[in-house]
Amino acid sequence: MWDPSELLSIGRFARLSGLSIGAIRHYDELDLLRPAAVDPDTGYRRYRPEQLESARLIARLRELEVPLEEIRAMLAEDDPAARARRLQIHRARVEARTYRLQRVLHQVTQLAAGKEPIVSRPPGPPELDDATRRALAVGLFNHTWTLLELPERTSQQDDEMLHAAHASRYHWGEVGEAMNLARGEWQCSRVYAVLGRAEPALHHARRCVELNLANDAREDWELASAYEAMARASAVAGEPAACAEWRAKAEAELADVRDPEDRQIVEQDLATLPV
């Protein structure tokens, strides 16, 4: 029997492992990453700290676009050589994408032959594949959370937290879906609120609300979370009436949230609103 005090909530487990809450639930349904305990009354999932190694392995392999069935087989493998063979097979799949490098080779050939001027257009950011961008977006998002949870931060860490949040949102803007963009805006707003900067906190909170309202495929808790961001930013801006109004909207949205774990996460955020 596991000591309940040693188990991690799904939200904490997600932040430490680099997996989203939705992905963790999905992997539970696939029998890939089962929780250590499930509360029979609330349905809350709890995880052992030792499960973080498997969760981080799953997160890393998904960043490398390894198929789920291959990940399942690798988790079951005790032989490092067998895992290496499976990675070699995946490597062969990745090699099939060499068309991008062929295009780069063609461009370099054109430049070397003088058929195109080297500075024909302003230099842009380095070209990254989608898997790399997703890995950066996820990693920077989680790093921002790690800095947010520090009891004390230096001014350098404040800057690092702010830049990490914006960098995560930038990469999601290149490869993410509507929900990723909204969550990135939410995190930027939270960072600015924690730093006491009302105007950008309100700006990013509004963008989070707009993106959620425009996304019919959003999860049922996302709009409540966006309204929480508006309430927090309004409080930082010294607008108690607006804060109360947005908080009431968030609480009203929570009534329609089906999953108790999703509802609990937003309720915890609402409970920490500055007075």
On whether both 168 and 261 belong to a single domain, the answer is: yes
On whether both 242 and 173 belong to a single domain, the answer is: yes
Taking the C-alpha atoms of residue 236 and residue 274, their distance in angstroms, rounded to an integer, is 7
Taking the C-alpha atoms of residue 148 and residue 162, their distance in angstroms, rounded to an integer, is 10
Contact by Cβ (8 Å): 10, 21:
yes
- Under DSSP, the state recorded for 7 is P
On whether both 259 and 235 belong to a single domain, the answer is: yes
Q: How confident is the model at residue 151 (pLDDT cuts 50, 70, 90)?
A: confident
> What is the enclosing helix (H) or strand (E) of 138?
helix 130-148
pLDDT tens string 190-235: 999 999 999 999 999 999 999 999 999 999 999 999 999 999 999 9
Contact by Cβ (8 Å): 157, 191:
no
On whether both 109 and 146 belong to a single domain, the answer is: no
Q: How many CB atoms lie within 10 A of CB 79?
A: 8
3-class secondary-structure state, position 41: coil
Max CA distance (Å), the chain: 72
Q: Is the pLDDT of residue 2 over 60?
A: no
On whether both 136 and 177 belong to a single domain, the answer is: yes
- Amino acid making up residue 274: P
Model pLDDT, residue 99: 63
On whether both 113 and 164 belong to a single domain, the answer is: no
Name the pTM for this structure: 0.62
Taking the C-alpha atoms of residue 80 and residue 188, their distance in angstroms, rounded to an integer, is 41
Model pLDDT, residue 120: 58
Number of domains in the chain: 3
Model pLDDT, residue 196: 95
Q: What is the CATH number of the domain that holds 48?
A: 1.10.1660.10
On whether both 110 and 62 belong to a single domain, the answer is: no
Range of the domain at 119: 81-124
% of the chain residues with pLDDT over 90: 55
Helix 130-148 and helix 52-63, axial crossing angle in degrees, nearest 10: 140
On whether both 224 and 259 belong to a single domain, the answer is: yes
Quick one: how many helices (H) and strands (E) in the chain? 13, 3
Model pLDDT, residue 30: 87
